[in-house]
Amino acid sequence: MQVPSGVRRAFRLPASSGQITRDLEDEVAFHVAMRVQSLERAGRSHDDAIAQAQRKFGDVQDLHDYCVALEVPHMQRAQARERLSSIAQDLRFALRQMRRSPAFALIASLTLALGVGATTAIFSVVNGVVLKPLPFSDPQQLVQLWGIDANGRHLHFADPTFDHLLAENHTLSAAAEYNTGDMSFSTNGTATRVTAAGVSKEFFRVLNVRPELGRSFAPEDQQKGSPMVILISHGLWMRLFGGSESVIGTIIKSGETPITIIGVLPAGKEFPAGTDAWYPREPFGEATSYTAHNWNVIARVKDGVTTEAATRDVSMVLRRLHAAVGDATWTLDGTAIPLRDQIIGSVKVLLLLILGASAVLLLIACANVANLLIARMAVRESEIAVRVAIGAGRGRIAQQLLIETSLLAAVGCLGGMVIAAAGMKMLLVLRPALIPRVGELSLDWRVLVFAVVISAATAVALALVAAWRGTAGDLRAALSQSQRTQGGGGASYRVRGSLVVVQLAMTVVLLIGAGLLARSFVGLMSIDPGFRTHGMVVAGTVFDEPRDTNYIGRRSVYYQQLAERALAIPGVTSVGISDAPPFSNGSSNGEFLVLDNAGIKLAPSALEGMFNDKARTGYATYRTATGGYFKAMGIPVLSGRVFDATDRAGGPEVAVINAALAHKRWPNGDAMGKVIEFGNIDGDLTPMTIVGIVGDTREQDLAADPLPAAYVDFDQRPGNSNEMFVIMAASNEAGAIAAARRAFPQVRADVPMRFLTVEDIIGRSVDSQRFMLLLVGIFGAVALLLATLGVYSVISYLVAQRGREISIRVALGASAPQIVHLVLKQGVALSLVGAIIGGVAALAATRVLKRLLYQVSPTDPIAFATVLVVLCGVALVASYVPARRAAAFEPMDVLRGG
């Protein structure tokens, strides 16, 4: 620059805005220099010329600010354009890379898709079940109320207890009783079995639900003797009435009782879940009994009242009542549980466990992809070295890697959503009874955000790993050595080896979890439930007849005819009937009195007093059964007899008890001939004589010990369930079901029925265990597959990397088995380290499974040993393939650089 230094100094601008300032400074300096020259030519002195040129030029600072203000947005746009174009360029490059190695792209995206898919599917369940609020307004105000007895058990409410609660509480804005059961529902002569809830008048006010069509219950609907009315669910409305508005006012029949439909509830607002119809509750006929614990209670707390405050309040009312009425209430205390906790209960822990397992799977998938990426980085080290050499900064390289991994993660995320959607469908098909609110599951925005976030996090993590590996070490060395295979190899092997060890360890944890669950499941399924399970068919029949004095007689006739039809079915050898076979949820339970004499029918007032005498009471489940029931179920008669044709209505009343009750109540073996009375359950108040003792059966829960049970005669006593079960021992289950489906409606078409096998029923009781086992098992299998791939790829890499060394060994006379041994040693070392770390981690982790295990310790040595052996075996096989390849090396090929 030939501008005189004085001129430059005079016009030096503040050093800001870089390029603009420098350019402008040059431009101004040139201008002034020209002006000064011209003035000097005109005869001015140098200093004078500079001063005048300066004056003539004006405010340089103002010009500078003006130009900066003009150009900054312009420059920013240019920079953004440049950044975008560099991203587009990197994206094109990444796509080219993917096209060039489609196998890598496919495996990496699939692996990520598996991890993201599994985690997203499970998260969507957690979201639907645990995170989403209940579909009622102010759901946090809804609570379920319970009484608590001396043993800490939760009790349902008896009517008078509920009345006290309503009158004396200070924290509830509304409370309602409800109870669900099966009901026959006939329209135009076709009977359907529906789940119906009898509810007290405040029920819909507690939930704050209004019918979408028709009206809710009016006070007069609740009065005794008023015409029966019913509200139906949106689902039932669609199913039976095709969504027609003329359904309001339609009269349906339940047995012989006509009922008018007055309203339809909006979809998704069913409570309890799965209820098809709601009717004004009718008391069971013992509205004055404090021990008829028959009602569920839901309540809404007042604004600003906490659950704890409600619990204190309810407890106070119940304790006061207990003090006033005495032991007869059983209810010592009370509690309020948030309705959401009540519904999701223990499932929450289960789901969070499964979510944890799926997160482990995702980590394993990430480790695998990281492993693959590092393998590729080793190959691409020279490419990256070139990029660095021509001036790409680490940031630029990192950007490119991030774009490459983001592309993988994006494909993985999309694939994962597909897998998640399919997985959700599978869950819905399994539809395990243990998952409440399963109908509300959906892939909503929270799930999508979740999938995108974990995919993005995965992309960043992978890019960091790749960038660290890709730009670490001496790049110039990598560049110069790029023709050889060992550029940065040692360090790379260590990193990849560690990733595989982590993978193996996590796989061990998942597999041991699956192993424990499997052992527990097998143990559970091999428990003898005390009755025959194979070749057993159950027909559930809803006999909805008015319970008048002729009820038992009408019912006996009907079921006698059913039994005859059943016995006529080829292959059916025996038939029995009960209101509460095991796993049916039909049984009632309660206290009985032991009386001195069968002949006397005591007054209710006399019985009330006797309940306070512990020497005179016992506790048992209460079931109605025919004599044929025990034979059909394969329940052995241990002493005495079961019901037979001599036991008739009006004759001497008899009872059969199980061994558990005999041992518990009469440990001296003198149960036979004792007289008992279940007045507070059957309302009959007629004493029964114990005429037989039968074997124990497990109820509801295979893992729980058999409960004391008393059976009453089907022809002498009503049961407590609307649903009666016809049990058939049949050689061909499917054939018997098909035949019964045809034959039974010929007796009466208006009794709705469902047919099941006993195996199905028992199978359902272990739904939660099966579900957990299935999911953890699938995760474990996928993890094992990924870990195997990991071991295989690392050992293959090792073999390639040590090709020269191995060739030299072969050239020096090492035998093939020696080479195989050399390579296998590496695989074994990796799997042993992984197995040991995994085993220790599993010892810590599987404790959380404890509650789900049956007779298996969380540290069960068989499960641990099996998994460790399987894992090491699989790792050995995965290393054997590359080992064989190494043994087949032709030394000269390798040494020549082949």
Partner 1 sequence: MPRDASDLLHGTLDVLVLKTLSWGAMHGYAIAEWIEHRGGGHLVIVDAALYKALHRLEESGAITSEWGLSDNKRRAKYYSLTTRGRARLRSESETWKRYALAVGRIIESS
Q: Does 748 bind partner 1 (CB under 8 A)?
A: no
Among 23, 256, 282, 564, binds partner 1 (CB under 8 A): 23
Task: Report the C-alpha gap between 629 and 531 in whole angstroms.
Answer: 11
Contact 331, 147 (CB under 8 A): yes
Q: Which is nearer to partner 1, 46 or 56 (CB)?
A: 56
Quickly count: other Cβ atoms within 10 Å of residue 216's Cβ: 17
Q: Does 491 bind partner 1 (CB under 8 A)?
A: no
Q: How far is the CB of 48 from partner 1 (least distance, A)?
A: 17
- Provide the phi-psi class of 828: left if phi over 0, else alpha when psi is between -120 and 50, else beta: alpha
Output helix, strand, coil percentages for the chain, rounded to the nearest 5.
55, 15, 30
Stretch that binds partner 1, among 69-77, 190-198, 794-802, 869-877 (CB under 8 A): 69-77
Q: Does 18 bind partner 1 (CB under 8 A)?
A: no
Q: Which is nearer to partner 1, 75 or 392 (CB)?
A: 75
* Among candidate residues 558, 590, 530, 547, the one with its CA nearest the CA of residue 721: 547
Q: How far is the CB of 119 from partner 1 (least distance, A)?
A: 52
Q: Does 619 bind partner 1 (CB under 8 A)?
A: no
Among 13, 21, 26, 255, binds partner 1 (CB under 8 A): 26
Q: Does 7 bind partner 1 (CB under 8 A)?
A: no
Stretch that binds partner 1, among 55-63, 188-196, 201-209, 334-342 (CB under 8 A): 55-63
Q: Which is nearer to partner 1, 11 or 583 (CB)?
A: 11
Q: How far is the CB of 27 from partner 1 (least distance, A)?
A: 5
Please classify residue 295 by burial: count the beta carbons closer than 10 Å to its beta carbon, then call 0-12 exposed, 13-18 middle and 19+ buried.
Answer: buried
Q: Which of residues 855-894 bind partner 1 (CB under 8 A)?
A: none
Q: What is the DSSP letter of 846?
A: G
Q: Does 220 bind partner 1 (CB under 8 A)?
A: no
Q: Does 4 bind partner 1 (CB under 8 A)?
A: no
Sorted by sequence, the CB contacts under 8 Å of residue 196 that are 6+ apart come out as 180, 181, 182, 183, 185, 230, 275, 276, 277, 278, 279
Stretch that binds partner 1, among 59-67, 249-257, 260-268, 278-286 (CB under 8 A): 59-67
Among 14, 16, 34, 644, binds partner 1 (CB under 8 A): 34
Q: Which is nearer to partner 1, 60 or 874 (CB)?
A: 60
**Alpha helices (runs of H) in 731-857, residue ranges in sequence order:** 733-747, 758-765, 767-801, 803-811, 816-845
Q: Which is nearer to partner 1, 70 or 567 (CB)?
A: 70
Contact 454, 416 (CB under 8 A): no
Contact 115, 362 (CB under 8 A): yes
Among 57, 468, 558, 619, binds partner 1 (CB under 8 A): 57
Stretch that binds partner 1, among 22-30, 86-94, 231-239, 553-561 (CB under 8 A): 22-30
Q: Which is nearer to partner 1, 54 or 556 (CB)?
A: 54
Please classify residue 371 by burial: count the beta carbons closer than 10 Å to its beta carbon, then call 0-12 exposed, 13-18 middle and 19+ buried.
Answer: buried
* Among candidate residues 799, 859, 789, the one with its CA nearest the CA of residue 825: 799
Q: Does 10 bind partner 1 (CB under 8 A)?
A: no
Q: Which is nearer to partner 1, 32 or 661 (CB)?
A: 32
Stretch that binds partner 1, among 54-62, 168-176, 388-396, 737-745 (CB under 8 A): 54-62
Among 31, 348, 396, 884, binds partner 1 (CB under 8 A): 31
Among 16, 22, 27, 79, binds partner 1 (CB under 8 A): 27
Quickly count: other Cβ atoms within 10 Å of residue 242's Cβ: 8
Look at residue 504 and give its three-state secondary structure: helix
> What residue type is assigned to position 590 of the chain?
G
Phi, psi of 259, rounded to the nearest 5 degrees:
-135, 135
Please classify residue 506 by burial: count the beta carbons closer than 10 Å to its beta carbon, then call 0-12 exposed, 13-18 middle and 19+ buried.
Answer: buried
Q: How far is the CB of 86 from partner 1 (least distance, A)?
A: 25
Task: Report the C-alpha gap between 604 and 608 in whole angstroms.
Answer: 6
Stretch that binds partner 1, among 57-65, 105-113, 280-288, 691-699 (CB under 8 A): 57-65
Three-state secondary structure of 759-785: HHHHHHHCHHHHHHHHHHHHHHHHHHH
Q: Does 300 bind partner 1 (CB under 8 A)?
A: no
Q: Which is nearer to partner 1, 67 or 800 (CB)?
A: 67
- x/- site string to partner 1, residues 373 to 412, per CB under 8 A? ----------------------------------------
Q: What is the DSSP letter of 101?
A: S
Beta bridge partners of 29: none
Q: Does 71 bind partner 1 (CB under 8 A)?
A: yes
Q: Which is nearer to partner 1, 24 or 569 (CB)?
A: 24
Please classify residue 897 by burial: count the beta carbons closer than 10 Å to its beta carbon, then call 0-12 exposed, 13-18 middle and 19+ buried.
Answer: exposed
Phi, psi of 809, rounded to the nearest 5 degrees:
-60, -45
Q: Does 42 bind partner 1 (CB under 8 A)?
A: no
Stretch that binds partner 1, among 33-41, 366-374, 556-564, 780-788 (CB under 8 A): 33-41
Q: Does 58 bind partner 1 (CB under 8 A)?
A: yes
Q: How far is the CB of 79 from partner 1 (least distance, A)?
A: 16
Q: Which is nearer to partner 1, 62 or 303 (CB)?
A: 62
Q: Which is nearer to partner 1, 58 or 391 (CB)?
A: 58
Q: Does 30 bind partner 1 (CB under 8 A)?
A: yes
Q: Which is nearer to partner 1, 24 or 462 (CB)?
A: 24
Q: How far is the CB of 47 from partner 1 (least distance, A)?
A: 19
Three-point CA angle 712, 718, 720, nearest 5°: 90
Q: How far is the CB of 28 from partner 1 (least distance, A)?
A: 7
Task: Report the C-alpha gap between 661 and 679 in whole angstroms.
Answer: 18
Q: Does 67 bind partner 1 (CB under 8 A)?
A: yes
Stretch that binds partner 1, among 64-72, 461-469, 718-726, 784-792 (CB under 8 A): 64-72
Dihedral of the CA atoms 433, 434, 435, 437 (nearest 10)?
60
State in Å, rounded, how far the first CA of the chain is from the last one.
59
Q: Does 35 bind partner 1 (CB under 8 A)?
A: yes
Stretch that binds partner 1, among 27-35, 198-206, 321-329, 590-598 (CB under 8 A): 27-35
> What residue type is assigned to position 423 of the chain?
G
Q: Does 66 bind partner 1 (CB under 8 A)?
A: yes
Among 7, 10, 28, 191, binds partner 1 (CB under 8 A): 28
Task: Report the C-alpha gap between 145 and 98 in whole angstroms.
Answer: 60
Contact 629, 576 (CB under 8 A): yes
Contact 262, 222 (CB under 8 A): no
Quickly count: other Cβ atoms within 10 Å of residue 189's Cβ: 8
Q: Does 63 bind partner 1 (CB under 8 A)?
A: yes
Q: Does 36 bind partner 1 (CB under 8 A)?
A: no
Quickly count: other Cβ atoms within 10 Å of residue 255's Cβ: 17
Q: Would you tell me which residues interact with partner 1 (CB under 8 A)?
A: 1-3, 23-24, 26-28, 30-31, 33-35, 56-60, 62-63, 66-67, 70-71, 74
